Amino acid sequence: MQFFKNGGNEKEEICVVNGAKGASLEETLAKVDHLAECKAENQQLQAAATLDDATASLTLADTSVESLLTITTAGSVFTEKDRAHIRSIWTPINDYMIPFETTNPAAPQEGDKVRFIPILEAPGGRDKDPATGHRRDSIPIATQIALQEDCYEKCASAIFYFLDDSQDEAAREGNVALFRYLRQFATGVVVRVNPGTLSSGAQANLDGMLTDLTVSSPGIRIMTHPHTQQLMGAKDSLVKIRDLRFGLKDTSVYYDAPSFREGFVRSIAFRPRVVKQNRGSQGEGIWIIKLKDETQYCANYGDAVVSLDTELVLVEANDNHVEYHTVGEFLEFAIHGRTDQAGVWESTGTGRYLDGDVESGAMLVDQRFLPRISEGEVRCNMVGSQLVNLVHKVPKSGTLSATLQSGAMYTSYSPDDPKFARLVESYRADLPNIMKALGMEGEPLPLLWTADFIFDYDEQGNDIFYVGEFNC
């Protein structure tokens, strides 16, 4: 893993950490949410963590909270209201934090150069540890950042909340104060905001502020940058990589209602489908769809289209509940939500998957259903280009969803485990081509990201794997 100067134009290794303080930074970053939840045994990793010589460092002249929060930033002094807000969203990490405790001999002292790399989260959502209110990997990541003082004299971290400000002017003012603060002190920001936690308006505000931060302070490294997250995390990434060896060629994307109406009646006439909304998480708005009369599938894609009164069987991936609707009712729910024409839905979601525009994430991806999904998914956990481990997510018996919420069981494997040797070989061969396929040739891979693979067979009956989702 590397941190780059000025958006990646220059790279300089300062040191290599191989677990001198217990778990290395790479090892800690590998502890993604689901591994913590299922108490999987931690792997002994060989990955190394490197830090660059930051263009901006913080020299401590006065380490009190009041002095740090009243520094003039961009011609404006932090008000007491600003300081109160920053305190209210702040989770300090160990002894390495801002403000620093100068009475603690382990803390940075006057004259020390400090790299401050905080974690940015959003409150709420189903991805939080009830005991801490944070994502399960955020505190370990921040803690390990704070332990890297031998890389650059002193390192510091903390966890901040970005508040949903789409309808709240006070939250908006607080978020602005936070970003002024980050502009003053941060050398990097690790973004851990799960898609769907914030409203679409607040997410757009966060992305805009992060982009502005990189423009106004080019020495600050954003991990992962909104541009990369949007292109790679969006469901239409599956369409862009469909010509790679792990892509499904008959994958389509719909950005508006007319294309959805036209495309879906053709695709469902050929084979069972998986239709995925772009927003949301934990499987909400991801539907496994089959014709109720499975004898009616046509032999070749495009040979037929179904009528609006054709009956469907739908399973939502978040909780495996089953619904029965016509094609017309499904189209109505997906486009307009809970209307009289949509019928009665048991889903906890609201539909309306195409509301807004492409920039706000409005799209539906239509992918062929792979029957071996009943065997689960294999998640590749990545730190940059480093494959850290694999997790086989096996659905609860008789179901198809691989989320913890639905009762799936998770088992962790090392990258060299022979069980998934074919997957790892194919994945590593395609890895250098991913960013180019996504339209980001020359840009680095995200800091923390995952790829979920689904089982299938090749013509000789050997296991092959197709990407079902990227997360970053």
Q: State phi, psi for 454 to the nearest 5 degrees.
A: -115, 140
> Six-digit token pair at 237?
């990434």
Tokens 């966890």, residue? 159
> Six-digit token pair at 76?
């404006």
The C-alpha atoms of residue 229 and residue 233 are separated, in whole angstroms, by 5
Scanning 51-199, the segments in alpha helix (DSSP H) are: 65-69, 80-88, 138-146, 169-185
The C-alpha atoms of residue 120 and residue 189 are separated, in whole angstroms, by 7
User: What is the DSSP secondary structure assignment for residue 194, as one 8-state letter?
Assistant: -
User: What is the DSSP secondary structure assignment for residue 70, as one 8-state letter?
Assistant: T
The C-alpha atoms of residue 369 and residue 273 are separated, in whole angstroms, by 5
Contacts of 173 (CB under 8 A, 6+ apart): 81, 85
Show pLDDT as tens, one digit a residue, over the chain (472 residues).
Answer: 222 222 333 222 222 222 233 344 444 444 333 333 332 223 222 222 222 222 223 333 333 333 333 333 333 456 777 777 777 887 776 544 444 334 444 444 555 567 888 899 999 888 888 888 899 888 888 888 877 755 445 777 889 999 998 888 889 998 998 998 888 878 899 999 987 789 888 998 999 999 999 888 888 889 988 888 888 877 889 999 999 999 998 899 999 999 999 999 999 999 999 999 987 667 789 999 999 999 999 999 889 999 999 999 999 988 889 999 999 999 999 999 999 999 999 999 999 999 987 777 789 999 999 999 889 999 999 988 999 999 999 988 877 777 777 788 999 999 999 999 999 999 999 999 999 999 999 888 998 899 999 999 988 999 999 998 898 8
Tokens 């998934």, residue? 420
> Six-digit token pair at 148?
């890297």
Q: How much is the pTM?
A: 0.68
The angle subtended at Cα 445 by Cα 417 and Cα 127, nearest 5°, is 75
In this structure, the dihedral spanned by the alpha carbons of residues 419, 423, 424 and 425, taken in order and rounded to 10 degrees, is: 110
First to last CA, the chain: 15
Q: State phi, psi for 15 to the nearest 5 degrees.
A: -160, 170
The C-alpha atoms of residue 307 and residue 429 are separated, in whole angstroms, by 42
- Within 37-111, strands assigned E span 58-59, 72-73, 76-77, 90-92
pLDDT recorded at residue 468: 87
Neighbours of 270 (CB within 10 A): 19
Ramachandran quadrant class, 251 (left: phi over 0; alpha: psi -120 to 50; beta: rest): beta
Residues linked to residue 386 through DSSP beta bridges, in sequence order: 383
8 Å CB contact between 390 and 381: yes
Pairing verdict, β 221-223 and 188-191: parallel
Which amino acid makes up residue 150? D
pLDDT recorded at residue 403: 74
Nearest CA to 277 out of 163, 356, 192, 377 is that of: 356
The angle subtended at Cα 456 by Cα 450 and Cα 461, nearest 5°, is 140
Q: 214: cis peptide before it, omega within 30°? A: no
Report how far apart, in Å, the C-alpha atoms of 223 and of each of 187, 242, 445, 452 are: 11, 26, 10, 21
